[in-house]
């Protein structure tokens, strides 16, 4: 039932994208959604390349959607449309309340103990990200600071720690201290270096995304993607439009095989793969 609600919201985004014809309106909406000028320009160019189509605008909206908590999407998009001067579209398409069931599309996961052979750092849980709009301060333990030091000095580094000791937090600290300090939020250079988390399970993608938002909310753009999406955003556009992308391994493999997707792997400064003992799920 909840998946139907999500599809309905995508239909709303399609209608909104179709209704925006002026480049100036797309520009204003993109800025209101937090996109840089380079990302907005590519959306406008894509529209023009397809004979005045709306797919560039829709791609921008879907990229924005990937970085939002589901229960806040309607309110945030309505606010962005209003800020962009598109009040009529906000009233026309976003005045119907979203049902309570739209607050989550994730199916409950079974509880698993650490002794059941789970090869992940922590069990799969839901709602990792706190409901507030403020990031939680990340405090590392002494051993985490020790393994982080070489990377902070600009050296190539691989973190190897036992299960459950916080490798993800080490990676998030590196992103926050090194890369975000170099490229503050709001920077318009779309060629700034990116960070990527690669996981092998769809629930873990959602969990890692929430975990990153817990500490990086408001500091950078975070998105998540997998092969189960009904309306996927091209991976090159998604990575290029965000500072941190969490994705499944199969999603990455498929993108590398797709000749229409041009991934600039040299722009990825930090890759965080989780140990995988089996084939990735999509």
pLDDT for res 113: 37
Burial state string for 79-118 with b = 16 or more CB within 10 A and e = fewer than 16: ebbeebebeebbeebbeeebeeebebeeeeeeeeeeeeee
Global confidence as pTM: 0.52
86 and 177 share one domain: no
How far apart are alpha carbons 268 and 282 in whole angstroms?
A: 22
Q: Give the DSSP per-residue string, 104-126.
A: --PPPPPP--TTS---SSS---S
Q: Does residue 86 lie in a domain region?
A: yes
Residues 94, 166 share a domain: no
Same domain, 153 and 262: yes
What pLDDT does residue 157 have? Answer: 83
| Structural domains counted in the chain | 2
117 assigned to some structural domain? no
Report the residue count for the chain: 282
Over residues 214-232, the pLDDT tens digits come to: 888 888 888 888 877 767 7
Q: Is residue 188 domain-resident?
A: yes
174 and 84 belong to one structural domain: no
Q: Is residue 137 part of a domain?
A: no
Which residues face 246 on adjacent strands? 197, 224
CA 273 to chain centre: 16
pLDDT of residue 109: 37
**Distance of alpha carbon 33 from the chain centroid:** 14
Helix (H, G, I), strand (E, B) or coil at 177: helix
- Provide the mean pLDDT of the chain: 75
Q: Is residue 113 part of a domain?
A: no
pLDDT band at 110 (very low <50, low <70, confident <90, very high): very low
Specify the 3-state DSSP secondary structure of 187: coil
Listed in sequence order, the residues at least 6 apart from 73 whose beta carbon sits closer than 8 Å to its beta carbon are 9, 65, 98
Task: Name the pairing type of β-strands 244-248 and 194-199.
Answer: parallel
pLDDT at 131 over 60: no
Kindly state whether residues 148 and 26 are assigned to the same domain.
Answer: no
Looking at the structure, tell me whether residues 87 and 157 fall in a common domain. no
Q: Contact, 194 vs 239, CB < 8 A?
A: yes
CATH number reported for the structural domain that contains residue 253 in this entry: 3.40.50.300
Give the burial class of 173: count Cβ atoms within 10 A of its Cβ; 0-12 exposed, 13-18 middle, 19 or more buried. buried
pLDDT, position 233: 82
CB-CB neighbours of 68 under 10 Å: 17
Q: Which helix (H) or strand (E) holds 194?
A: strand 194-199
- Retrieve residue 212's tokens: 């990153």
- Residues spanned by the domain of 149: 142-273
């Amino acid at each position: 039932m909840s998946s139907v609600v999500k599809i309905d919201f995508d239909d709303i985004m399609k209608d909104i994208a179709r209704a925006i014809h002026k480049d100036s309106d797309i520009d204003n909406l993109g800025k209101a959604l937090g996109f840089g000028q380079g990302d907005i320009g590519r959306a406008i160019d894509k529209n023009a390349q397809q004979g005045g189509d709306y797919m560039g605008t829709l791609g921008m909206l879907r990229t924005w959607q990937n970085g939002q908590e589901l229960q806040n999407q309607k309110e945030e998009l309505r606010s962005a449309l209003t800020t962009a001067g598109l009040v009529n579209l906000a009233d026309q398409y976003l005045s119907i309340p979203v049902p309570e069931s739209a607050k989550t599309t994730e199916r409950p996961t079974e509880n698993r103990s650490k002794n059941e052979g789970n090869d992940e750092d922590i069990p799969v849980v839901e709602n990792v990200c706190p409901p507030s709009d403020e990031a939680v301060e990340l405090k590392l333990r002494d051993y985490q600071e020790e393994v982080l030091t070489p990377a902070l000095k600009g050296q190539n580094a691989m973190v190897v720690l036992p299960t459950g000791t916080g490798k993800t937090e080490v990676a998030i600290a590196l992103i926050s201290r090194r890369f975000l300090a170099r490229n503050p939020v709001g920077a318009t250079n779309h060629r700034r270096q990116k960070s990527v988390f690669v996981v092998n399970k769809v629930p873990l993608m959602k969990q890692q995304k929430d975990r990153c938002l817990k500490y990086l909310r408001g500091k950078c753009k975070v998105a998540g993607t997998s092969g189960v999406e009904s309306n996927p955003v091209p991976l090159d556009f998604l990575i290029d439009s965000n500072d941190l992308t969490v994705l499944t391994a199969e999603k990455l493999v498929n993108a590398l095989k797709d000749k229409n997707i041009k991934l600039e792997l040299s722009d990825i400064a930090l890759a965080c793969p989780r140990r995988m003992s089996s084939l990735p799920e999509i």
